[in-house]
Structure formats: C-alpha cells, structure tokens
Structure 1
Amino acid sequence: MEFAYTVKRSRKRKKLTITVERDKSVVVHAPFELPDDRIGEILESKKAWVFEKLTHSQKYSDLPHPPGKELVNGESALYLGKLYRIELVEQLEEICFSNRFLIPSSQQHQRKTVLKNWYIAKAKEKLLPKAVGHAKELGVNFNHIKIVDNRYRWGSCTPRNNVNLNWRLIKAPMFTVDYVIVHELAHLLEANHTANFWSIVRTHTPKMEKARSWLKENGQILEEDI
C-alpha cells in the first residue's frame, strides 16, 4: 500500500469500513477474524477513494470576529451556527447567555475550559434529545449515546450500537447537527456509505448538502476551544 493506515478489529463488527479522518489518518475498522491479506485487497480496491479523501483540500471562510484567540471583550464565539460577542462581567459567578456571552471576569484566563464546559452542558441538553427523536423517526435503537471530546470526528457509531457526538457540534447550526446525528444513526441500518445509506440520510435530512457545505467551510472553526 502507498499510504499508512491503522486497523481496529472488533468481534462485534461484521463488515469492514474505512475512515479518513480530518487529520489525514486512515483507520480501517475490521471484523476480528478478517485476514490481513484480505484487508489489504479491500484497501487496494478502495485506493482511489482513499487518495481522493487524503488530497481533498478543505476550504474555510474568514469570520468577522475569529474565535480561539483571547477571552476578551469584543471577541466572538459560535453557538448554534451564529457568532455572539463575548462580554466580561465583574461580580458574575457563572456564564450567562442572552444574545451574547456574559463571562465572569475572574475566569478570563481560563480560555481553554470555561466555554468548553458550557458548550458540553448545552450539547447534552440539546443534542441528546435530538438523537432520541431522530432514532424514533428512523426506527432504530441504540444502546448508549454520549457527548465526547474528539477533535477529528463529528460523530461515530460503534459496532456495539453506541452513538458518540462531538461536543463541538453545539457550535453548528441545527440543520448541521441534524445531519450529523442522522448520519451516525443511519449506520445502524447500513454499515457502509452505500447508495442506500446516502438515500436514507438524504430522506431524513433534506438540508444534507447544505450541512456538508457548512462543515466544509467552518469545520476548522469548530475545532477551536472558543
């Protein structure tokens, strides 16, 4: 093979899938008993697809108030697809949100954790019920669903039918959140990215292409702490 890859085996998995992460790492999820030479053959047959993903250039749009620099007055942070200004407030004990982020001045130097914790709490509050609703619409059942901290994947569905959602999704518009959730739940019906898989996702998320474009344009911003 002409590219490096990591193989992750599972006794629960029945089919092989290939994932090219945004950090350009290639991960092969394979059934436990699948021989190495068979994995190599499958990767060889998918070489063109893998290289297309590896060489794909991401495009990101400049934001009027790019986040991720300092936690100061006038800075901005994303929430559900919109930018809101940050305002530091004296004698405030916790973050408040009212068309802007009101942040205690005492937490100004905790940039990497103060908003992250708030985002995670909001992700649990808003994303988890969304997943339950979409699962009912799709007619699927998952074992567990949780919010995770994963910089290079927006979501995942494990061989044990567990669904993971990246807390950073709470920064994205709800139509993008819906797309990612349905994408992962659709894997409970179709393990691979077949034509039938995409038909399921498109049927349940009419704004699928808009959501994918949004992630392509703004994915790098979501990866920032604020």
Structure 2
Amino acid sequence: MELDYTVKRSAKRKKLTISVERDRTVVVHAPISASDEAIDKAVQSKRQWIYAKTHHEQKLHELPHPPGKEFVNGESALYLGKHYRIQIVDDETAKVHFGNGFTVPRRQASLRREALREWYLEQAREVILPRIDEQARNLGVQVRLVKIVDNRFRWGSCTPKDAVHINWRLIKAPMSVIDYVIVHELAHLLEENHTPRFWNIVRTHTAAMLKAKTWLKENGQLLEEEV
C-alpha cells in the first residue's frame, strides 16, 4: 500500500524527522540537502511505526459532540481544566464574561460559539504568552517569536526559525498541561529531536510530565469541542 506523506524542507534543519499529526497526516521535516530518494527510504523504514501512529485509537476517535452545536443555559465549558456552567443573560454588551461561570449575552444568540471562542483566544494570550516567557527563562533559551495559533491538530510547535506556536485550545486544559506543552516546544531549541536528552530536559522542567501527557491523551478530544 502506498504511503502518503508531506515533505517540509528547511535550511536550518540538520536531521530528518517524521511526525504523525492528529488528523493522521504524515509529515517529514527534512534538511534542504535531503534527496527525495533519501526521504522516501526513511519513510519506508518507519512504515510499521507510522501505521501504529495513524491507527492509534485517539486519532481514530470522533469528537463526542458534533462541531457547530448550539449551547444553552445549564451547559458547561472548560477553562483551565475545570468545567464551568454557561448562563445566557440579558446583557447589552456583546462579550462573554467569566466569574463563577460563563455568562453569555442573549443578543449573541446566533454567535454564541464565536463569542466564547473569542473569549478563549483573549485568555490564551493573557495567560499562556507570559508563561512561555517564564519557561524560556527557566530553560535559558531565547525565543524569536511567540504566537497563539488556531491549529486543530497540534497543541504546539517550534519552528526552525525559533518561533514557538501554541494552540489556543490549550487554555481549556489544566495549567500543568499547558506548562508541559510549552516546555516540550521550548526544549526543541536545545535538542531538535525526541532524544533521551530531550525528554530529560522536559522531565527536569515539568514535574508532572507523565500526568500531563496522560491528561492530554485522555482529554484531548474535549479541547477540540467547539464549546
């Protein structure tokens, strides 16, 4: 069976790595000098590993709720790992407010999901961006650019140009999980691949690494829900 994959070359990259995204696409990150034949040979040598990853239960599992569903009074939404009740209120403002729970203006009836999404994005910028700066200082690395991004299939990424991108949906996860993803991406500035040294770096700077990985594995689908 033919194995489909996408190749992304970079002049800064020295080693070839293969990743399987959460939508089951296979991406090869390769140096500019890597030939098509060398890339294909590397992919073929990893066929068994790629098959296992693309058929992992978490990647095959469908979202528990279909995207686009409306939410109503009494439902809940995640924030920093906890569920909070949603209340639809008569309010002249057009913004979502958060206290002991979420309050959503009734005037946003047709745009409730969009309003909550904007609130999440704002909170992600306020909470996660300073956390990246703090963890970068802890690891002694310099980041050229940090961004909160909208990416359905990756929690974070570190580009060859030393830019760190974090998925805004992580604002729904516990802070320990957010820290794990941040440290994971920053560690790539010290060690490009997932070597034993890489994991030692992550483990040293993330006390709850295994717990955070387990939480993401078990609850990742919840973060992708629209509400």
Normalised TM-score (structure 2) = 0.92
Partner residue, 1:12:
12
SS state at 2:215 partner: helix
Query: Percent identity of the aligned residues?
Result: 59
Which consecutive residues of structure 2, in runs of 5 or more, have no partner in the other structure? Answer: none
For these two proteins, the number of residue pairs brought into alignment is 224
Q: 1:68 to 1:224 in 2, by over 3 A?
A: farther
Q: Per-residue CA shift, 1:99-153, capped at 9, x if unaligned? A: 1001111112213311111000000000011001111111111100000000000
Q: 1:83 to 1:68 in 2, by over 3 A?
A: farther
Partner residue, 1:58:
58
Instruction: Read off the aligned partner of 2:16 and give its amino acid letter.
Output: L
Partner residue, 1:84:
84
Which consecutive residues of structure 1, in runs of 5 or more, have no partner in the other structure? Answer: none
Q: CA separation in 1, counterparts of 2:66 and 2:97? A: 21
Q: CA separation in 1, counterparts of 2:68 and 2:181? A: 23
Q: CA separation in 1, counterparts of 2:45 and 2:28? A: 14
Cα RMSD, aligned residues only = 2.1
Q: Per-residue CA shift, 1:157-199, capped at 9, x if unaligned? A: 0000100000000000000000000000000011111111111
Superposed structure 1 runs of 4+ greater than 4 Å apart: 65-68
1:90–1:105 contact (8 Å) kept in structure 2: yes
SS state at 2:141 partner: coil
* Deviation of 1:67 (Å): 9.5
2:131–2:179 contact (8 Å) kept in structure 1: yes
* Deviation of 1:33 (Å): 1.7
Q: 1:175 to 1:68 in 2, by over 3 A?
A: farther
Normalised TM-score (structure 1) = 0.93
2:6–2:27 contact (8 Å) kept in structure 1: yes
Q: 1:20 to 1:172 in 2, by over 3 A?
A: same
* Deviation of 1:92 (Å): 4.1
